[in-house]
Structure 1
Amino acid sequence: MSRTRTVATWTTAVLAAAALAGCAESDRDEGSGGSGGSGSGSDATFVFGAAGAPEMFDPFYATDGETFRVTRQMFEGLLGIEPGSAEVVPELATEWTPNEDGTEWTFTLRDDVTFHDGEPFNAEAVCYNFERMFDQNDAGQVAGEYWGYVMGAFANDADNSLYQGCEATGEFEAVVTISGPTSGFPTMLTLESLSMQSPKALEEGDANGIAAEGEGFSFPEYADNPVGTGPFTFGEYDEANGTISLERNDDYWGEAAKVSELVFRVIPDESTRRQELEAGSINGYDLPNPVDWNALEESGNTVEIRDAFNILYMGFNPDTNPQLQDLKVRQALNLAINREQLVQTQLPEGAEVATQFMPKTVSGYNTELAAPEYDPERAQELLAEAGAEGMTLTFAYPTEVSRPYMPDPQKLYEALRTDLEAVGVKVDVKTASWNGGYLDNVTAGKYDAYILGWTGDYDSPFNFIGTFFGNLKENDFGTSAMPWGKQLADDLKAADAIVDEAERSAAFEEINAQIMEDYLPGLPISHSPPALVVGPGVEGVIPSPLTAEEFDSVTVSGE
Structure 2
Amino acid sequence: MRIRKSGAARAVVVTLATGLVLAGCASERDSGKSGEAGDTFIFGAAGDPSSLDPALASDGETFRVTRQAFEALIEHEPGGSKLVGGLAKSWEASEDGTEWTFKLRDGVKFHDGEKLTAEAVCANYDYWFNWTGTYQNSGVSYYWQTIMGGFKKNEDKETPEANYVSCTAEDELTPVIKVKEATANLPGGFSLQALAIHSPKAIKAYAKEEATGEGDAISYPKYSQEAGTVAGTGPFKISKWSKGNKEVTLERFDDYWGKKAGVEKLVFRTIDTEDGRRQALQSGDIQGYDLVAPADVKTLEKDGFQVPTRDVFNIFYLGFNQEAEKLLRKKEVRQAVAHAIDRENLVKTQLPEGGVVATQFMPDTVAGFSDQVKTYDYDPEKAKDLLADAGEKSPTIEVCYPTEVTRPYMPAPADMFELMKADLEKIGVKVKPRAMKWNPDYIDSLQNGKCGMYLFGWTGDFNDGYNFIGTWFGGYDKQWGFKDKKVFDALKAASAEPDAEKRTELYKKANEVVMDFLPGVPISSSPPAIAFAKDVNPPKVSPLTQENFGEVSFK
Unaligned runs of 5+ in 1: 22-37
Q: Please list every run of 5 or more consecutive structure 2 residues that lacks an aligned counterpart in the other structure.
A: 1-6, 18-32
Change (3 A) 1:207 1:47: farther
**In 2, distance between residues paired with 1:293 and 1:154?**
46
Letter in 2 for 1:451: L
Q: How does 1:338-487 map to 2 (within 5 A)?
A: 338-369=342-373, 371-472=375-476, 474-480=477-483, 484=484, 486-487=485-486
Pair 1:306-2:306 in alignment: no
SS at match of 1:529: coil
Query: Following the alignment from structure 1 to structure 2, what is the Cα–Cα distance between the partners of residues 92 and 445?
Result: 36
Judge conservation of contact 2:209–2:222 (CA < 8 Å) in 1.
no
SS of match in other structure, 1:450: strand
Q: 1:343/1:6 Cα in 2 relative to 1: closer, same or farther (>3 Å)? A: closer
Greater helix percent: which structure? 1
Change (3 A) 1:255 1:278: same
CA offsets, 1:393-432, max 9 Å, x none?
Answer: 1011101100000100011101101110000000001101
Preserved CA contact (<8 Å) 1:399 1:432: yes
Whether contact under 8 Å (1:39, 1:259) holds in the other structure is no
- Name the aligned partner's letter for residue 526 of structure 2: S
Pick from 147, 152, 164: which aligns with 1:150? 147
- Note the aligned Cα RMSD (angstroms): 1.8
TM superposition shift of 1:208: 5.9
Asked if residue 53 in structure 1 is aligned to residue 48 in structure 2, the reply is: yes
Shift of 1:300: 1.3
1:327 correspondence with 2:324: no
State the SS of the aligned residue for 1:305.
coil
Which amino acid letter does the alignment assign opposite residue 182 of structure 1?
T
1:39, 1:258 within 8 Å by CA — same for their partners in 2? no
Mean CA deviation greater in 70-79 or 219-228: 219-228
Cα 1:292/1:548, change in 2 over 3 Å: same
**CA offset at residue 159 of structure 1?**
9.3
Q: How does 1:13-412 map to 2 (within 5 A)?
A: 14-15=12-13, 17-18=14-15, 20=16, 42-142=37-137, 143-157=140-154, 160-206=161-207, 209-212=210-213, 215-223=216-224, 224=226, 225-369=229-373, 371-412=375-416
SS class of match (1:373): coil
**SS of the counterpart of 2:134?**
helix
Structure 1 contact 206–222 (Cα < 8 Å) conserved: no
Distance 1:411 1:110, change over 3 A: same
Q: 1:6 to 1:452 in 2, by over 3 A?
A: closer
CA deviation vs aligned residue, 1:203-227 (integer Å, no higher than 9, x gap)? 1243662222672322223313311
Residues 76, 329 of structure 1: alpha-carbon distance in 2 compared, 3 angstrom cutoff = same
- CA distance in 2 between counterparts of 1:475 and 1:356 reads 21
Count residues in correspondence.
525
Could you say which residue in structure 2 is the equivalent of 1:512?
511
Distance 1:328 1:373 in 2: 15
Against the structure 1 CA distance between its residues 6 and 159, is the aligned structure 2 distance closer, same or farther, given a 3 Å change threshold? closer
Paired letter, 1:469? F
1:545 match: 543
1-side partners of 2:498 and 2:50: how far apart? 36
- 1:34 maps to none
TM-score between both structures, scaled by the size of structure 1: 0.91
Shift of the 207–75 alpha-carbon distance from structure 1 to 2, 3 Å rule, reads farther
Cα distance between partner residues in 2 of 1:435 and 1:304: 27
- Cα distance in 2 for partners of 1:317, 1:512 equals 19
- Cα distance 1:214–1:378, how it changes in 2: closer, same or farther (>3 A)? closer
Q: CA deviation at 1:40?
A: 6.3
Matched residue type, 2:141: G
Q: Quick check: 258-267 or 135-144, which moved more?
A: 135-144
Q: Identity of counterpart residues, as a percentage? A: 45
Q: Counterpart amino acid of 1:106?
A: T
State the SS of the aligned residue for 1:323.
helix
1:33 aligns with: none
Aligned-partner residue type, residue 361 of structure 1: T
Q: Compute the displacement of 1:44 (Å).
A: 0.8
Read off the aligned partner of 1:77 and give its amino acid letter: A
Tell me if structure 2 keeps the 8 A contact 1:395–1:430.
Answer: yes
Aligned residue type for 1:317: N
**Contact 1:201–1:227 at 8 Å: present in 2 too?**
yes
Query: Residue 529 of structure 2 aligns with which residue?
Result: 531
TM-score normalised by L of structure 2: 0.91
